Amino acid sequence: MLDKEELKKIFQLKGETRGVVFQTDAQYILMKEGEDGLKELEKRAAELGFKIPYRTVKPLDWEPIGLRIISLLLIQDTFGWPDSKIREMGYFAPNVSFIIKLLMKYFVSIEKTIKNAPRYWVQHHTVGELIVDKADQKQKEIVIRMKAPEFHPIFYTYLEGYYERVARFTNSNMVCQHSKTTIDGELFHIYKIKW
Amino acid sequence: MVKIKKENKTEKLLKENLRELTSYIGDFWDFIPMPIILVNPLNIILSISKSFERMSGYNAYEIVGESLTKVIADKNLVEDLRKEIAKKEEILNQEALFLAKGGEEIKVNLSAKKRRDEKGDFIGYFLTIVDISEIKALQESLEKKIEERTRELEEAKSSLEIKVRARTREIKELADNLENKVKEKTVGLVQSKEALINILEDVDEERKIAEEERKKTMAIIENFSDGLLVFDEENRLSLINPQAEDFFNVKAKDLIGKSVLELSIFPALKPLTKILGKTIRGVFREELPIEEKLTLEVSTVTLKREQKKIGTLVILHDVTREKIVERMKTEFVSLAAHQLRTPLSAIKWTLRMLLDGDLGVITKEQREFVEKSYNSNERMISLINDLLDITRIEEGRFLYKPVLTGIESIVQFVVDSYQEEVEKRKLKLEFKKPQEKLPRVMLDIEKMRLVIQNLLDNAVKYTPSGGRVTICLKSGKKKIEISVKDTGVGVPKDQQERVFTKFFRGANVMRMETEGTGLGLFISKNIIEAHGGKIWFESGKGEGTIFYFTIPVPEEAGENF
């Protein structure tokens, strides 16, 4: 059960994200739950005092990053999905994302994809950054570190699936795993990609 | 501050342009009917069009991120495609087998367009996938049909070649046969030509002969003393000779082609057409007085060829001279008879007085001489009377005075007058008459007695002793028939035609009976015909003779019966 007050706090998180994430969310809901599912989702959002622009948003519009996290929480709550399902939703998002289409020129090789990973983050968010800590093709491992304010855990779960999908555009055997680490007293979210 | 404002303004404009472009690309990507996918250099599918979704059955979630080999089964082909597009800008119409989601295999045509980044590096390619299964099916069907048709044509060609060879052989044989026939025919035609020339020469000869004959015939016709008219089968005048033109004072050109009816319009020809009638009846020697000095005798002859009437010949014989001679003869006979009768009457009465003794008694011998003279004188008077009757007949003055009377009494009177003579000649005379009463007829009693007397006289005279003479009366509705039958010497066949002519006496009877003028039957015939009756006979030498004559019964008399 979602806490309205907590959601308000989340909504007030600093930073913005591209509108395309609401489009990919909506498309996935339509695929999985149909039109009624999407309507139910919109209704729940309205009941909680949020208007999430699933149908009207433009892919390159900037929307509050808190609203993006609320959308994920609402979806999980409305349809009773486990985290794995949210991860799956993230996994499939690049398949239909407009912005990914703009970035496809980078998905021509593992090297190029890794090299342009920070660019991906900047393209999608106004806060935080993505840092490639390791890219070792011999060991078949890539480590990406996300330097950003702390968001809701569901957001990182979603990104785990998302990054795995993007990584697989160059190698279908790649698997992404999210973890957290503290360096010099600062918390970082780590995404380790192996194949 | 101003710079920041300007940047914000520029950024806003760029955003708007980007939105429009995004919308445009999105719409275009969704709309384009050709299945298109974006593939990276690793042959991973990065993006698909709506049309591709419809064709493959995969949605973006299912296929984006997957290898191209998921839908193009031939891995080698996919690898070759990638290598080739890395070298070229585009690849066109590469045939491949497409695997749809349900496992359906679709024949497709692949075309690829290379993508480069801003540095010119190969970053992937667009791949269009065109379903050519229908086209291929059509192509295969067409190829199959073409193959079948080609086979059929080849078979037909072989069959045709065989037929052509056979036909060529047949035609050659026919041509050879034809040539032989033409040669034979040519020989035949040459022979026919020669034969025809001979025939034509013969025909020409015949024609000349016929022409000569025709000229001769025409010369005869034109110079013939009798007038000749020839009518065709439709009774139209086709020829008239100059003599006939002279008779009627007409010209052939005015008459040729005209019917008898049309000819009757000409006054000169009217009497002739009256005799001929419209259909040209049979005429034999009928007199036709044209004018005082011209009398013609008209006869018609039916012209036949192979039993079919082809026309009628009218012969006009000029009998003017004969008529004049006859008239002169008649006048002479009449004059002579009148002149002779007066002295013969005087002689008769003188001799009668001598025989009666008025002039004194004469001796027996003298009486015999006087009686002979008297009888001879009587015969002379009878002859003179006959001659006078004939002249009257020929002059048309033999008028009779008919009255309505019974013929039976007239016959009976004559029969009675001959009883003594019959007995003297030892003959049997029988008069047969019907039981019913005969109708009365119009008769000149005196002339009819003369007829019966002539017939009975001949029968009695020329029937030997022991013979039989039978007179028979028969009654009919329209006529009474009288016959006189004897068992006498008969009339020889060769003389029967002349029986009713003047002065005829049979050669056989002249030997039997010296007396007789040969005028009785001539006079009788004229009397019977004057009564409207007919007279004829049946006879043969030594077979006896039967003379018949008829008298018409008036209609009223017949009804009274």
**Is B388 found in the same domain as B259?**
no
The alpha-carbon gap from B123 to the nearest alpha carbon of chain A, in Å, equals 6
**Which residues partner with B419 through β-bridges?**
none
Cβ neighbours of residue A33 under 8 Å, at least 6 residues apart? A40, A41, A79
Task: Look up tokens 């299945």; give the residue.
Answer: B35
Q: Which residue of A has its CA nearest to B14?
A: A60
For residue B255, being part of any structural domain is answered with yes
pLDDT above 90 (res B5): no
**Is B356 found in the same domain as B421?**
no
The H-or-E segment that residue B485 falls in is strand B479-486
Interchain proximity B46–A109, CB inside 8 Å: no
Q: Are A58 and A98 in contact (CB under 8 A)?
A: no
The alpha-carbon gap from A161 to the nearest alpha carbon of chain B, in Å, equals 13
Question: Six-digit token pair at B283?
Answer: 């005429």
* Boundary residue ending a domain (B283, B318, B353): B318
Give the mean pLDDT of B8-13: 81
For residue B191, being part of any structural domain is answered with no
Question: B378-419: per-residue pLDDT in tens?
Answer: 888 888 888 887 777 777 666 677 889 999 999 999 999 999
Give the mean pLDDT of B527-550: 90
Name the domain count of chain B: 4
- Distance in angstroms (rounded) separating the CA atoms of residues B259 and B269: 12
Q: Which of B8, B21, B40, B50 to mutate: most A Cβ within 10 Å?
A: B40
**Is B545 found in the same domain as B439?**
yes
Interchain proximity A172–B18, CB inside 8 Å: no
Interchain proximity A31–B66, CB inside 8 Å: no
Question: Six-digit token pair at B530?
Answer: 């004057």
Among B41-50, B176-185, B320-329, B503-512, which is the least confidently predicted range?
Answer: B503-512
- For residue B92, the Cα-to-chain-centroid distance in whole angstroms is 92
Give the mean pLDDT of B220-233: 88
pLDDT value at position B557? 47
* Residue ranges of A 55-114 with Cβ closer than 8 A to chain B: 58-60, 92, 94-96, 98, 100-101, 104-105, 107-109
- Distance in angstroms (rounded) separating the CA atoms of residues A23 and A58: 8
Q: Are B167 and B74 in contact (CB under 8 A)?
A: no
Question: Six-digit token pair at B239?
Answer: 């020829």
pLDDT above 60 (res B6): no
pLDDT value at position B510? 73
pLDDT value at position B513? 66
3-class secondary-structure state, position B397: coil
Q: Are B55 and B105 in contact (CB under 8 A)?
A: no
Give the mean pLDDT of B129-147: 85
Interchain proximity B65–A101, CB inside 8 Å: no
Produce one character per residue of A95-127: b if its CB has 16 or more CB atoms within 10 Å, e if not. bbbbbbbbbbbbbbbbebbbeebeebbeebbee
Q: Which residue of B has its CA nearest to A107?
A: B40
**Is B286 found in the same domain as B264?**
yes
**Is B251 found in the same domain as B294?**
yes
Interchain proximity A94–B65, CB inside 8 Å: yes
- Distance in angstroms (rounded) separating the CA atoms of residues B561 and B558: 5
pLDDT above 50 (res B160): yes
Compare CB distances from B65 to A59, A95, A98 and report the shortest one's residue.
Answer: A95
**Is B535 found in the same domain as B455?**
yes
Q: Are A158 and A72 in contact (CB under 8 A)?
A: yes
pLDDT value at position B519? 85
CATH number of the domain within which B333 lies: 1.10.287
Q: Which of B13, B20, B44, B115 to mutate: most A Cβ within 10 Å?
A: B44
pLDDT value at position B561? 33
The H-or-E segment that residue B424 falls in is helix B419-424
Which residues of B touch chain A, with CB atoms under 8 Å apart?
A: 15, 18-19, 22, 26, 38, 40-42, 44, 46-47, 59-61, 64-67, 115, 117, 121-124
To the nearest whole percent, how much of chain A has pLDDT over 90?
75
3-state secondary structure chain A: CCCHHHHHHHHCCCCEEECHHHHHHHHHHHHHHHHHHHHHHHHHHHHCCCCCCCCCCCCCCEEEHHHHHHHHHHHHHHHCCCHHHHHHHHHHHHHHCHHHHHHHHHCCCHHHHHHCHHHHHHHHECCCEEEEEEEECCCCEEEEEEECCCCCHHHHHHHHHHHHHHHHCCCCCCEEEEEEEEECCEEEEEEEEEC
- Cα distances (angstroms) measured from residue B540 to each of B396, B471, B483, B490, B550: 33, 19, 16, 5, 22
**Pairing label, strands B122-131, B36-39:** antiparallel
Cβ neighbours of residue A113 under 8 Å, at least 6 residues apart? A106, A107, A166, A167, A169, A170
Number of neighbouring beta carbons within 10 Å of residue B409: 9
Compare CB distances from A107 to B26, B46, B122 and report the shortest one's residue.
Answer: B46
* Boundary residue ending a domain (B81, B107, B131): B131
Return the top range by mean pLDDT from B10-24, B69-83, B156-170: B69-83
Question: A92-142: per-residue pLDDT in tens?
Answer: 999 999 888 888 888 888 888 888 889 889 989 999 999 999 999 999 999
**Is B446 found in the same domain as B517?**
yes
Q: What's the sign of the alpha-carbon dihedral B504, B509, B511, B517?
A: negative
pLDDT above 60 (res B47): yes
pLDDT band at B163 (very low <50, low <70, confident <90, very high): confident
- Distance in angstroms (rounded) separating the CA atoms of residues B471 and B428: 11
For residue B146, being part of any structural domain is answered with no
Mean pLDDT (chain B, rounded):
87
Give the mean pLDDT of A176-182: 94
* Residue ranges of A 165-184 with Cβ closer than 8 A to chain B: 165, 168-172
**Is B244 found in the same domain as B101?**
no
Compare CB distances from A170 to B18, B42, B117 and report the shortest one's residue.
Answer: B42
**Is B511 found in the same domain as B377?**
no
pLDDT value at position B225? 85
Cβ of A32 under 8 Å from any chain B Cβ?
A: no
Give the mean pLDDT of A18-43: 96
Q: Which of A88, A98, A108 to mutate: most B Cβ within 10 Å?
A: A108
The alpha-carbon gap from A120 to the nearest alpha carbon of chain B, in Å, equals 16
pLDDT above 50 (res B539): yes
Which residue type is seen at B256? I
- Distance in angstroms (rounded) separating the CA atoms of residues A163 and A175: 9
Interchain proximity A169–B41, CB inside 8 Å: no
* Boundary residue ending a domain (B109, B131, B153): B131
Compare CB distances from A59 to B22, B60, B121 and report the shortest one's residue.
Answer: B22
**Is B387 found in the same domain as B428?**
no
pLDDT above 80 (res B439): yes
CATH number of the domain within which B433 lies: 3.30.565.10
- Class of residue A2 by CB neighbours under 10 A (exposed 0-12, middle 13-18, buried 19+): middle
pLDDT above 90 (res A32): yes
Q: Which of A107, A166, A172, A174 to mutate: most B Cβ within 10 Å?
A: A107
User: Looking at chain A, how many residues does it have?
Assistant: 195
Q: Give chain A positions within 8 Å (CB) of B40.
A: 104, 107-108, 169-170
- Distance in angstroms (rounded) separating the CA atoms of residues B384 and B391: 10
pLDDT value at position B560? 36
Question: B345-359: per-residue pLDDT in tens?
Answer: 889 899 999 899 888
Among A134-143, B183-192, B451-460, which is the least confidently predicted range?
Answer: B183-192
Interchain proximity A109–B42, CB inside 8 Å: yes
- The boundaries of the domain holding residue B236 are 224-318
Q: What is the ipTM of this complex?
A: 0.86
- Distance in angstroms (rounded) separating the CA atoms of residues A140 and A172: 13
Of B78, B77, B73, give the one whose Cα is nearest residue B40.
B78
Question: B99-110: per-residue pLDDT in tens?
Answer: 999 899 999 999
Task: Look up tokens 């999980």; give the residue.
Answer: A76
- Distance in angstroms (rounded) separating the CA atoms of residues B524 and B510: 20
CATH number of the domain within which B119 lies: 3.30.450.20
Question: Six-digit token pair at B357?
Answer: 């003794």
Give the mean pLDDT of B192-219: 86
Q: Which of A95, A110, A173, A195 to mutate: most B Cβ within 10 Å?
A: A95
pLDDT above 50 (res B61): yes
Q: Which residue of B has its CA nearest to A165?
A: B65
Domain residue limits, chain A: 4-85, 98-194
pLDDT band at B220 (very low <50, low <70, confident <90, very high): confident
**Is B510 found in the same domain as B411?**
yes
Q: Are B376 and B348 in contact (CB under 8 A)?
A: no
Q: Give chain B positions within 8 Å (CB) of A169.
A: 40, 42, 44, 46, 65
To the nearest whole percent, how much of chain A has pLDDT over 70?
100
Question: B298-355: per-residue pLDDT in tens?
Answer: 999 988 888 888 899 999 998 888 888 877 877 787 787 778 888 888 898 999 998 9
Interchain proximity A31–B65, CB inside 8 Å: no
- Cα distances (angstroms) measured from residue B209 to each of A125, B37, B213, B218: 143, 117, 6, 14
Give the mean pLDDT of B71-99: 91
pLDDT value at position B396? 67
Looking at per-residue pLDDT, the higher value among B37 and B156 belongs to B37
pLDDT band at B514 (very low <50, low <70, confident <90, very high): low
Q: Which residue of A has its CA nearest to B37?
A: A101
For residue B11, being part of any structural domain is answered with no
